[in-house]
Structure 1
Amino acid sequence: MAMYDLTWCGGISEGKKISDLANTYYIPTMMHTAGGPILWYASVHLAASVTNLHFVESVYPYWKERDPFFFANAPQVENGLVRPPDLPGLGLQFNPGLFDRKELIVETIAGN
């Protein structure tokens, strides 16, 4: 089995190449997604596009509890399946008022 993490291997395109090469030799692939929520969104999209995906390793508290705090449409696993958002790009949709919440610290690291 070929296992990869999109943040370590070079992103979505590189992950697709790994899966395609493994598929040439009938090798199943799996993804590691224990990073942030953007990794989860990207991995869900790629998982929907590869034919030799065996499974996606994920962290239940991340997608079930943490991600919905930030995103209105965090992909959720239901009966072992997950669907990617159908919005443009990765489909990220921040919760309304997220950046106005008192308990959230927003720091500007570049620009004016």
Structure 2
Amino acid sequence: MNWIILIIAGFFEVGFASCLGKAKQATGNEMYAWYAGFLICLAISMTLLIKATQTLPLGTAYAVWTGIGAVGTVLMGIFFFKDPVNFWRIFFITTLVGSIVGLKMVSN
């Protein structure tokens, strides 16, 4: 169950990073709404990470959480923010996903 909580926490990490990207592009009240989304996603992500680390090893949980956040944020950047796509970006994202899966497989 805590692995599911950790994965959801990682998705909220993607959410807070994406809100920062959108806030940078917005002005006025829309910008403040994106910053509010950032704070909400940050609070949820941290709360879930704390919950997951109650039973999962801290180092593994943190690595998986940041990995999900990194992969998700890169994908959000590619699909929604028009970030560049090239072989090496995809290659290293793929190796990161493999590392996350590997950590899950070797953890108790």
Q: Structure 2 length normalisation: TM-score?
A: 0.32
Larger RCO, structure (CA 8 Å, separation 6 or more): 2
Name the one with the larger helix percent: 2
Specify the structure having the higher radius of gyration (Cα).
1
Name the one with the larger strand percent: 1
